Amino acid sequence: MGKLAFAPVDFTRSGLHIIDSGTADGRWLVNLREQLHGKNNIYVGTDSVEKNLAKLSYPDITLEVGRIDTPWPKDWVERFDYVHQRLVLPGCEFIPVEEAVKNLVSLVKPGGWIELLEHDHNCPTSGGLDRADAMVRAIFTQNGFGYDYPLRMKGWLEDAGIVDLKQEVIDVPLGALNPNPEMAEKSTWQVTSAVKGVMPIARGPCSILSFRLPLGIPPEELEAIPDYTNREIKSRGGIQRMYIVYGRKPL
Ligand SMILES: C[S@@+](CC[C@H](N)C(=O)[O-])C[C@H]1O[C@@H](n2cnc3c(N)ncnc32)[C@H](O)[C@@H]1O
């Protein structure tokens, strides 16, 4: 997306406490740290899957296991100047998603910022991502999560007391639509890997019984989705529509 932080956090200050929830390998934190080099900030990353957490050797970055749908450590309440979370909300299993957002808000210091970013899988101009998006919509419909959560984040943050809210919608060009050849290749690879990662969920547990997969997509069509996505993103490109919402906790 070409930008690490959308919220107008005052990064000229030193000693900021920054958390990235659902951080995976902590790449976002590492990149932000590089950008803000020498500011004595404290960076924390959490993820529900321990093996996703990279072994980083930066003294100011800590990565640890933590879920958005279980209680946060009590001493983290109002500790962070900037709470960042990207592409994690669908992993909320144990509590309603608006409650998880409220719990994240509890980590923000008065005067601090929170920023949530999610992919809208219902973008009408998704190009080569069309079948993968349809598959994801079918999964989220079937599991009851729904796929309109990116559009609801602003309201959830507002209900949790966040002010100065802004929503940005960015269409990220993938593959052939990205003018930078390196980014074109990287985005094709990233999207294809993500789609492959979703396949075990899409196949579902009752596919053998019903002879049709639980999504109502015939097995041969479903299995063709990763190759189709790879080919189409490479040749005609795709669009990943991102909803980015940020706001401030009042003082
Ligand atoms: C699509 S990846 C996004 C990683 C990173 N935020 C990024 O934007 O590159 C989703 C990450 O969220 C983590 N995750 C899924 N459910 C979670 C949950 N309930 N609590 C915390 N992390 C979760 C996954 O393990 C995975 O690392």
Please name the residue whose Cα sits nearest to atom 16 of ligand 1. 91
Per-residue pLDDT, 211: 40
CATH number at residue 207: 3.40.50
* Residue 243 belongs to a domain: yes
The structural domain count of the chain equals 1
Per-residue pLDDT, 214: 56
* Residue 234 belongs to a domain: yes
* Residue 96 belongs to a domain: yes
* Residue 60 belongs to a domain: no
* Residue 61 belongs to a domain: no
Q: What percent helix, strand, coil does the chain show, rounded to 5?
A: 40, 25, 35
* Residue 48 belongs to a domain: no
Per-residue pLDDT, 188: 97
> Which phi and psi angles does 61 have, rounded to 5°?
-115, 125
* Ligand 1 pocket, CB under 6 A: 22-24, 47-49, 52, 67-69, 86-88, 91-92
| Domain that includes residue 87, residue range | 67-249
Mean pLDDT split into 10-residue runs, the chain, 251 residues: 92 96 96 91 96 90 97 98 97 95 98 98 96 92 91 98 98 97 96 93 61 67 95 97 98 96
Instruction: Please enumerate in sequence order all residues whose Cβ is within 8 A of that of 225, keeping only pairs 6 or more positions apart, or say none.
Output: 131, 132, 135, 195, 199, 202
Spacing, Cα 88 to ligand 1 middle (Å): 4
Ligand 1: which of 88, 89, 99, 136 to mutate, most ligand atoms within 8 Å of CB?
Answer: 88
Residue 240, classed as helix, strand or coil, is strand
Residue 245: closest CA among 33, 140, 89: 89
Per-residue pLDDT, 205: 62
* Residue 76 belongs to a domain: yes
* Residue 240 belongs to a domain: yes
Ligand 1: which of 28, 30, 47 to mutate, most ligand atoms within 8 Å of CB?
Answer: 47
What predicted TM-score, i.e. pTM, was given to this entire model? 0.94
Dihedral angle over CA of 34, 38, 39, 42, nearest 10: 70
